[in-house]
């Protein structure tokens, strides 16, 4: 019924409707550049990839566009504009190297650009006072993260499988609102900020960052971290400051083949319940003081309850 009401807003001119969801309507409006400020939302999810010859200026008159969702569209011409009123932008497979220079994301709350060709979000610095979620998963060419001080209430940052990413802006290490940082599969990532002081962080995922040789130091204000994934990294040790993660309940260092030892402070972690050490071929430790651990995985064998004084060999 809702869609019928929208169609009746302007039966013969889809560019004057508030919402568009049919391919033929969207393609017509964006190819002929007949969009108006009436349009508030566009949703186009195609089952298979399709080329589109949309006018580069096609979004320039949609001043009130609030949400834009596009999937499986290969643009032949890069868009020159995106509306500054956008709250939700989800453009899977975005073909341009960056967002349009004229775009001011002051109102943007969520940005999803998975499987895109984007290399950096934008050139220079832009203020994103409302942005809470950035997801650039599998954007294989992405290499330049923005200054996170300009994104003050960001809660989730997903850069999984951004294989061209070599470093991340140091401002992420002192971000006050970030709860999730997912860098899984960033296999060329070599450098992280020297120290993390992220008071809201709950989950840190560095899995399969195979060139990452060290983890940051952890500040005293990081007691909210619950899960830490370091599996498949090139780390040789864990920092002594891991003891500052007083809320840590799950630690995965599976297949950290260069990990030699655990810091003595490791055994002071009373919240740690799940520990995966499988594949840590050089590690030999005594877990006698790790009384809180309830589930230990060594070489794929899971012990649900670890007895006091357990000595384990992973080779």
Cα Rg of the chain (Å, integer): 24
Q: How confident is the model at residue 289 (pLDDT cuts 50, 70, 90)?
A: low
Q: What is the pLDDT of residues 52-110, one digit of tens each?
A: 999 999 999 999 999 999 999 999 999 999 999 999 999 999 999 999 999 999 999 99
| pTM for this prediction | 0.91
Determine the Cα–Cα distance for residues 159 and 260; give it in Å rounded to an integer: 28
Comparing CA positions, the residue from 69, 10, 65, 66 lying closest to residue 37 is 65
Residue of 286, 294, 245 lying closest to 268 (CA atoms)? 245
Over residues 262-278, the mean pLDDT reads 87
> What tokens were used for 248?
């840590």
Parallel, antiparallel, or unpaired for β 67-75 and 41-52? Answer: parallel
Dig out the tokens for 85 from the structure: 């009123």
Count of beta carbons in the 10 Å neighbourhood of residue 24: 8
Weakest-pLDDT range from 22-36, 64-78, 163-177, 295-309:
295-309
What is the average pLDDT score of the chain? 89
- Whether the CB-CB separation of 288 and 312 falls below 8 Å is answered with no
Q: CB-based contacts of 177: which residues, under 8 Å, 6+ apart? A: 152, 153, 154, 155, 200
CA max distance for the chain:
78
pLDDT per residue as tens digits for the range 117-158: 999 998 888 999 999 999 999 999 999 899 999 999 999 999
DSSP assignment string, the chain: -HHHHHHHHSTT-GGGSSEE--HHHHHHHHHHT---TT--EEEEEEEEEEEE---TTTTTT-TT--EEEEEEEEESS--S---TT-SEEEEET--SSSS-TT---TT--EEE-TT---SBS-SS----TT--EEE-TT-TT--B---GGGSTT--EEE-TT-TT--B--GGGGG-SS--EEE-TT-TT--B--SEE--TT--EEE-TT-TT---PPEE-TT-TT--EEE-TT---SB--GGGGG-TT--EEE-TT-TT--B--GGGGG-TT--EEE-TT-TT-EEE-TT-TT--EEEETTEEESSPPTT-EEE--
Res. 27: pLDDT tops 60:
yes
Structure tokens at 228: 């830490």
Spatial contact of 280 and 257, defined as CB atoms under 8 Å apart = yes
């Amino acid at each position: 019924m809702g869609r019928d009401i929208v169609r009746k807003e302007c039966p013969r001119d889809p560019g004057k409707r508030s919402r568009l969801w049919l391919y033929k309507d969207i393609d017509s409006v964006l190819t002929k550049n007949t969009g108006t400020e009436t349009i508030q939302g566009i949703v186009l999810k195609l089952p298979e990839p399709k080329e589109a010859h949309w006018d580069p200026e096609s979004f320039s008159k949609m001043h009130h566009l609030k949400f834009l969702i596009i999937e499986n569209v290969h643009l032949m011409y890069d868009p020159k504009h995106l509306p500054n009123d956008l709250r939700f932008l989800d453009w899977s497979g975005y073909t341009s190297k960056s967002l349009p220079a004229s775009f001011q994301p002051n109102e943007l709350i969520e940005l999803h650009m998975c499987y895109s060709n984007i290399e950096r979000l934008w050139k220079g610095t832009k203020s994103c006072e409302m942005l809470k979620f950035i997801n650039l998963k599998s954007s294989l060419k992405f290499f330049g993260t923005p200054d996170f001080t300009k994104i003050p209430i960001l809660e989730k940052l997903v850069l999984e499988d951004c294989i061209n990413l070599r470093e991340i802006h140091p401002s992420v290490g002192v971000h006050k609102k970030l709860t999730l940082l997912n860098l899984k599969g960033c296999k060329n990532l070599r450098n992280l900020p020297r120290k993390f002081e992220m008071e809201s962080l709950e989950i840190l995922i560095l899995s399969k960052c195979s060139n990452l040789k060290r983890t940051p130091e952890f500040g005293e204000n990081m007691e909210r971290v619950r899960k830490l994934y370091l599996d498949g990294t090139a780390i040789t040790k864990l920092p002594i400051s891991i003891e500052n993660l007083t809320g840590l309940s799950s630690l995965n260092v599976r297949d950290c083949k260069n990990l030699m030892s655990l810091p003595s402070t490791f055994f002071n972690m009373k919240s740690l319940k799940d520990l995966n050490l499988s594949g840590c071929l050089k590690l030999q430790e005594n877990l006698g003081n790790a009384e809180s651990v309830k589930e230990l995985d060594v070489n794929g064998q899971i012990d649900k309850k670890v007895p006091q004084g357990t000595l384990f060999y992973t080779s």
